[in-house]
Every structure is written in structure tokens, then in C-alpha cells.
Amino acid sequence: MDLFEKIAANRGPLGTHSAYAHGYFAFPKLEGEIKPRMIFRGKEVLTWSLNNYLGLANHPEVRRADAEAAAEFGMALPMGARMMSGNSNLHEQLENELADFVAKPDCMLLNFGYQGVVSIIDAMVGRHDVIVYDAESHACIIDGVRLHAGKRFVYVHNDMAGLEKQLERAQRIIDETGGGILVITEGVFGMSGNQGDLRGVLKLKEKFQFRLFVDDAHGFGTMGATGAGTGEEQGVQDGIDLYFSTFAKSMASIGAFVAGPENVIEYLRYNMRSQIFAKSLPMPLVVGGLKRLELLRTKPELKDNLWTIVRALQSGLREKGFNLGTTSSPVTPVMLAGQIGDAVQITFDLRENYGIFCSIVVYPVVPKDVIMLRLIPTAVHTLDDVEQTIKAFEIVQDKLAKGLYSKTEAPVWLTE
């Protein structure tokens, strides 16, 4: 079969919906400055879907640092991969400062979080080694595991008895192969908002020998007394062998890092294919990263503001009877009982009639009869924003319970 014909017949699980979803449910354009109120299709909306946790995206000092670095260095410098011709003192300075902040001996910058995680996993394990990972892991972990030539075992999300069973199986295999075990989980899970049970995982080190790799994309900057992440929050930062976070969330930028023991980071520098064979992070992103980290470290009010909004939003929704699942982080999922058709109508109603823009998650990410509205509070939201949102959610919940959405015609543009 011709590959292009095959693609025309099967657009993929998400692409199947592109004809009506594009520009509204998928690839929407939020315009204007990054802040809670932005423009969607010409109208102002209150936005709850940006991972700009600390509000750094538009912080005046950040904007100035980014602009000045772009003017001074341009977007190209340094040219080439870090290993070949793309290293700089500023890259190394940011690595040192990140390592200090997350209390690890060494750190390595990554161009992107997704590719970084895939490549870290690829570099860490060979065919004699075994990976054991949480079932709700982010796609980048899943894809890293897919590259692995050896055995892999998955455990039910945060089920420590399940993890122990899988470690027993892993142990039997490495007894034969002479390999090692890598356990992978997340600090904060981005959909449910619950934390990986890092303490529980580490307790199993008493019985098994393994190394723990934690993707803390949503925990860095938001969790722990200093914002150093979920390990700090749970008092087990020392036990995390390899700590990863992206710059795409609290740092409001692009790039990522991995931190751990000097010899392991040195090994990764010389063995991570996504970094060795890719151009170095441009200087403005590095200088901008230094400024963001400085603010994250020196302005605890950013995290305090975030948590004021998180607490108001989560307790306000819970008081009104909404089910927020098991979140223990800023990520705020609101679970409603309904079908995909209802979800389409709710999204439309919230955006067009109540000016609320949030992400909607449906099957297969959540069970078939569940609709998840996912809210990401930030340090720059206000308590008025919270109040407006809770009011709108109550109205929407009421309409859903009365079955009004299933009786509503699809918006005209959906059927055009």
C-alpha cells in the first residue's frame, strides 16, 4: 500500500477529529501577552491551561533578560553541539547553579525535556538491564522505555506492592544477566496532579538494589520548601539518583536538565545521543534560564502566590462538591460524569458563554464516562479569577446533571 494513501485512510487517534477540532479543541490560538486573560477567537478568556506556574513567562526582569541576551548574542550562538563547538561558560554556570539548587553534585543541560528523557533512558540501560516504571508515566518515559533492548516491567500507578512484585521479577532477570535495575517515576503526575510515592519507592531500596530516575516536570519550582521539587517536598531528595526537570513549566521557557552524581552526569554528557548529535541550547535561553532560576530562588513570594491560588481554587471547588481526585499539587483536575459529546458542549459553553479556557481530557486518558476539566493555577491568577471560575463550573455542572448538554445541538461551525 502507498504510505500516503494509508495515512489518508487512517489519520491516527487524534487526527481523526481534526476536521472539526482544529483551531478550537486542538491547536487553539491564545493571543496576546501570556497572562490569565488572553484572547481566543477575538474574545477575552480567563485561561487555566498554561503551565506558567510561577508567572515567570511575562515577569519584567525575565522579559528584559531574554531581550538583552537576544540582542547581545543572537539566537545562533553557540553553533554546533556542546561536545564539538557549542560549549560556553554560561552553559556551565547554569548547570552549576541548577545542581546547587536541586542539591545534586552535577547537572547537564538538555535542549528539550521530551528528547532528553528518551535519551537519558537510552543511555542509562543496556540489554542486560531491566526498567521498572509507573504505568501513568509521561509519553517521553514510555518512548524511552520503548527504545530499551532489555526487559521492562510496568507497575500500576503508585502501587508499591505492585512495584515490589515487579522488582522481584527484575531481580530474577538481573541475577542471570548481571545487569542492573532502573526504576522510573514522576514527581508530580501532570494529569491527576498526585505525587509519585517517592518515599514508598525508596523504602524498597532496603530490599532491592536499583537506581531511581524521577521526572519532576511539574514539581520543580512548585513543590518543596524552596521549590527544589517533589523530592524536597517528601524529604527524600537525596534518595533520587537522577533528577530531571524541563524548563517548559515553572521556568516558562524551553530546555531541561538532569542532575545527579558527577560520574553519571559525565557519562551522560558523553553518551546521550539527543545531545551529542544536536545543536547546543542558544545563549538567550541559557541567560534567560539563569535569570529565571535567580527569581525562583530569591522570590519565594512567587511560589507563595501560586499556592494561595491553588488552595483557594481547590478548596473552593471541593466545598461545592466537585471531585478533584487525588491531586496533591497545583494541577487541578475536575472530574465530571459525562460522555465525549457532553465534553464538546461543555468546552464550547465555558469558552463562549463564561469566558473560561481550560483543557478538557476524555477517554482513553480518563475512563469512558468521565470528563476531566484540567485547571493549572498560576502565581499571576487572582482570587477574583478563582471565584468567577467556580461559579461557572457550578452552572456547567448543573446543566450537565440536568442532561441539557446532550440535548443541545452541536455548534454550527462544528457541523459545517
Ligand X SMILES: Cc1ncc(COP(=O)(O)O)c(C=O)c1O
- Footprint of ligand X (CB under 6 A): 112-114, 117, 138, 140, 186, 190, 215, 217, 246, 248, 256
Rounded CA separation 228/108 (Å): 16
Q: Which is nearer to ligand X, 215 or 342 (CB)?
A: 215
Nearer to ligand X, 91 or 151 (CB): 91
For 53, phi then psi, to 5°, come to -45, -50
* 261 preceded by a cis bond (ω within 30 of 0): no
Q: Which residue is nearest to ligand X (CB)?
A: 113
Q: For the residues of 148-200, what is the DSSP string, one character each? A: -SS-EEEE-TT-HHHHHHHHHHHHHHHHHH---EEEEEESB-TTT-PBP-HHH
- 114 or 348: CB nearest ligand X: 114
Burial of 65 (0-12, 13-18, 19+ CB in 10 A): buried
- Angstrom distance (rounded) from CA 202 to CA 241: 10
How far from 379 is each of 5, 223, 383, 408, CA to CA, in Å?
48, 13, 11, 36
List strands edge to edge, sheet with 332-337. Answer: 332-337, 370-375, 359-361
Pick 250 or 345: Cβ nearer ligand X: 250
Cβ at position 139, least distance to ligand X in Å: 8
Of how many residues is the chain composed?
Answer: 416
d(CA 142, CA 187): 16
The minimum distance between CB 85 and ligand X, in angstroms, equals 24
Complex with ligand X: residue 184 or 343, whichever CB lies closer: 184
Q: Nearest 5°: phi and psi at 326?
A: -115, 25
Q: Least separation, in Å, of the C-beta of 40 and ligand X?
A: 21
Closer of 166 and 250 to ligand X (Cβ):
250
Q: Which is nearer to ligand X, 109 or 295 (CB)?
A: 109
Look at residues 164, 189, 271, 187 and name the one whose alpha carbon lies nearest to residue 237.
187
Nearer to ligand X, 227 or 338 (CB): 227
Q: How far is the CB of 82 from ligand X (least distance, A)?
A: 17
| Direct distance between the N- and C-terminal alpha carbons of the chain, in angstroms, rounded to an integer | 32
- E-strand ranges in 283-399 read 332-337, 356-357, 359-361, 370-375
Q: How far is the CB of 117 from ligand X (least distance, A)?
A: 6
